[in-house]
């Protein structure tokens, strides 16, 4: 398969030093322990394939000012557990300590450098050529013979460790990056009955995806749940009630109602709205028809009638892309919509699940093996599906074109 970027198949890594950008950014407990290490686990196949190389890992955790902005020490321990070999944590990024550790390492060794966001210039979003002139690149690039990017979850960023090495080193995608691009591209090719199920609270992103897949005739139908559904219901002229409108206003999404109205008008019949909802009435699940709205209670899930309707559409689909929960799924009383949509997606011929909440629900249900692809992307996955430019992927394409 001809690609417009290099993969690991285009290189020989034996005896080489490889800079590998991974995405280890994980939910953390207040005392600095990793709560979900899925992203670390997903990096293991790429690292194992580099067993004849000296592997130097670059990664970040959170950002300055956040409570979970911390070192990569615990990440190194988790990786060591899954890799089943020693992983050397280096509490330096590109200083003399880090460089001497890299020089002294042997092929087969794995080093994890300190959180790259401890370095101020990593916060800048600028072109690869500008990042190539930073201290990080100037200090580390001479020690390596190749750069691989496996950090799909950060590929919507144009930061130093993601794009700065591509102008100066032979560069390519790691196995996870390759898998993510292939799977999401397949989701965007259309063909057959292609259904998008979009929910959660990131309304602007979901509306961008909706417009993209309908304008390009990728999706046969878009089913909306969660706050996304509330926006579309409001756009259709339905009064969803004060607490639900208040949430939309608080999150500065009132303008999205106009966008949703335009999409409903332009793509009549393509977007399927809930016919009933579940509200949280004094801590209890109470179902009501959309025709009975407004309500003075928070809409917390789609109703059983809608679940049955959506289930039928999803199960009969050739392709399903699901991003975002159908409600407040952390509460068992309001998890039915999310869980049922995911279970239905396992019946489709090809299925992609994106977004942190949906991915967590997949793990809880134990159906990872029944979903074609569970993205590690979060914001990156939804940007990709929206048709937005992905700077880190574009940098890999430019690197291949430059070295032809």
List binding-site positions.
39, 60-63, 117, 157, 330, 355-358
Gap between the Cα atoms of 198 and 13, Å rounded: 41
Gap between the Cα atoms of 338 and 404, Å rounded: 46
Gap between the Cα atoms of 95 and 246, Å rounded: 50
Gap between the Cα atoms of 287 and 362, Å rounded: 25
Contact 358, 378 (CB under 8 A): no
Residue reference for tokens 């950060």 = 154
Known binding-site residues for ATP equal 330, 355-358
Give the H/E segment covering residue 374: strand 373-374
DSSP code, position 324: S
Gap between the Cα atoms of 40 and 79, Å rounded: 6
Contact 184, 209 (CB under 8 A): no
Contact 240, 299 (CB under 8 A): yes
Residue reference for tokens 């390492």 = 105
Count of positions (residues) in the chain = 404
- Calculate the CA dihedral of residues 231, 232, 238, 241 and round it to 10 degrees: -20
CA dihedral (65, 381, 149, 138) positive or negative: negative
DSSP code, position 31: T
Contact 384, 323 (CB under 8 A): no
Give residue 142's Cα distance to chain centre. Answer: 32
CA angle, residues 163, 167, 171, in degrees to nearest 5 = 75
Q: Which of left, alpha, beta for 321 (phi over 0: left; psi -120 to 50: alpha)?
A: beta
Gap between the Cα atoms of 370 and 366, Å rounded: 9
Gap between the Cα atoms of 286 and 307, Å rounded: 15
């Amino acid at each position: 398969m001809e690609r417009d970027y290099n993969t690991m198949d285009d290189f020989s890594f034996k005896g080489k030093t490889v800079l590998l950008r991974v995405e280890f950014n994980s939910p953390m407990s207040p005392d600095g322990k990793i709560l979900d290490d899925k992203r670390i686990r997903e990096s293991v196949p790429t690292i194992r394939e580099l067993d004849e190389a000296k592997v130097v890992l670059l990664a970040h955790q959170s950002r300055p000012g956040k409570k979970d902005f911390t070192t990569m020490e615990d990440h190194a321990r988790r990786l060591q557990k899954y890799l089943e070999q020693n992983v050397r944590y280096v509490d330096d990024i590109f200083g003399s300590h880090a460089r001497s550790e890299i020089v002294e390492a042997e092929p087969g060794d794995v080093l994890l450098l300190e959180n790259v966001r401890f370095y101020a210039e990593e916060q800048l979003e600028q072109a690869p050529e500008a990042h190539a002139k930073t201290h990080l690149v100037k200090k580390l690039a001479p020690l390596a013979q190749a750069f691989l990017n496996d950090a799909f979850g950060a590929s919507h960023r144009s930061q130093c460790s993601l794009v700065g090495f591509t102008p100066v080193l032979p560069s390519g995608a790691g196995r996870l990056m390759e898998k993510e691009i292939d799977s999401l591209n397949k989701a965007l090719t259309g063909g057959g009955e292609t259904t998008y199920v979009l929910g959660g609270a990131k309304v602007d992103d979901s509306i961008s995806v909706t417009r993209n897949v309908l304008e390009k005739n990728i999706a046969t139908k878009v089913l909306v749940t969660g706050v996304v559904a509330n926006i579309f219901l409001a756009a259709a002229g339905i009064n969803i009630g004060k607490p639900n409108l208040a949430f939309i206003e608080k999150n500065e999404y009132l303008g999205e109602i106009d966008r949703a109205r335009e999409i409903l008008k332009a793509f009549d019949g393509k977007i399927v709205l809930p016919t009933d909802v579940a509200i949280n009435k004094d801590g209890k699940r109470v179902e009501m028809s959309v025709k009975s709205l407004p309500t003075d209670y928070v809409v917390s899930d789609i109703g059983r009638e809608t679940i049955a309707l959506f289930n039928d559409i999803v199960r009969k689909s050739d392709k399903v892309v699901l991003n975002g929960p159908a409600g407040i799924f952390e509460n068992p009383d309001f998890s039915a919509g999310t869980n049922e949509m995911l279970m239905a997606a396992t019946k489709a011929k090809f299925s992609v699940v994106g977004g942190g909440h949906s991915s967590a629900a997949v793990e809880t249900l134990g159906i990872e093996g029944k979903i074609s692809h569970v993205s590690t992307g979060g914001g990156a996955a939804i940007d990709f599906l929206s048709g937005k430019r992905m700077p880190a992927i574009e940098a890999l394409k430019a690197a291949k074109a430059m070295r032809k």
